[in-house]
């Protein structure tokens, strides 16, 4: 069991949400003063406001799309609304942040009611500007189909964290 495995594979993000990919662009997401790493636990009170996103890359002319989905909606044991879309930002120039892009689905703070949900940030490279359009509704959003629809190709970066109800662990626990 001590194989060195990618946290995205271990957490089944690759599998449920994405296909296997190789990350090529650096993606750093920070809520408040706490950076998001794979598999960390955040409380709904910490993720009320949209995070600070920093994208690597080198060329300011390449644009990226950032998607934030919850594959465990409404509950991990019964995920019939698989992939609830929380945030969708497009036309983000490389080396900048999400505030420089066009936010076509505004940030909705996740408030899971039941179970521990994974929340996944996925970054795609766009072929051109203004090629991505918002979906009609937030639930049943399939990231794979969305990427295929708008020719986004394989993801270039992804990170996920866990979130549960505010009083989920009972008492003061991190």
Partner 1 sequence: MACASTSASATWNMSSLRSAIPPIHARSASSVHLSTGPSSSRLKFSSSKLLHSFVGLAPLHPLLSLSSPDSTSFEHCFTVIDNGGRFFAMRHGKRVPKLNRPPDQRRALLRALTTQLLKHGRIKTTRARASAMRKYVDKMVTLAKDGSLHKRRQALGFIYEKEIVHALFAEVEERYGDRNGGYTRIIRTLPRRGDNAPMAYIELV
Which spans of this chain sit near partner 1 (rule: CB under 8 A)?
10-12, 39-41, 72, 75-79, 114-116, 162, 164, 169, 173-174
Handedness of CA 147, 152, 154, 156 (dihedral sign): negative
- Degrees (nearest 5) of the Cα angle 45, 46, 49? 95
To partner 1, the closest distance from the beta carbon of 90 in angstroms equals: 31
Cα separation, 44 vs 9, in Å, equals: 24
To partner 1, the closest distance from the beta carbon of 116 in angstroms equals: 5
Cα separation, 55 vs 105, in Å, equals: 19
Asked if 94 contacts 25 with a C-beta cutoff of 8 angstroms, the reply is yes
CA nearest to 101, candidates 138, 62, 144, 151: 62
- Of 93 and 115, nearer to partner 1 (C-beta) is 115
To partner 1, the closest distance from the beta carbon of 153 in angstroms equals: 28
- Of 18 and 89, nearer to partner 1 (C-beta) is 18
To partner 1, the closest distance from the beta carbon of 160 in angstroms equals: 11
- Of 44 and 115, nearer to partner 1 (C-beta) is 115
- Of 28 and 165, nearer to partner 1 (C-beta) is 165
């Amino acid at each position: 069991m001590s194989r060195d495995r990618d946290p995205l594979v271990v957490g089944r993000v690759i599998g449920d949400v994405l296909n296997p990919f190789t990350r090529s662009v650096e993606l750093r997401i920070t809520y408040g003063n706490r950076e998001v790493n794979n598999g960390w636990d955040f409380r709904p009170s910490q993720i009320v406001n949209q995070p600070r996103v920093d994208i690597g890359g080198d060329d300011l002319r390449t644009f990226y799309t950032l998607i934030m989905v919850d594959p465990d909606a409404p509950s991990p044991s019964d995920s019939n609304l698989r992939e609830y879309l929380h945030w969708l930002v497009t036309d983000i120039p490389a080396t900048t942040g999400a505030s420089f892009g066009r936010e076509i689905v505004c940030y909705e703070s996740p408030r899971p009611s039941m179970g521990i949900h994974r929340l996944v940030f996925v970054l795609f490279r766009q072929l051109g500007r203004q090629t991505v359009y918002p979906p009609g509704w937030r639930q049943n959003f399939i990231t794979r189909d969305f990427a295929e629809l708008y020719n986004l190709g394989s993801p270039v970066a992804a990170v996920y964290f866990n979130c549960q109800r505010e009083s989920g662990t009972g008492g003061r626990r991190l």
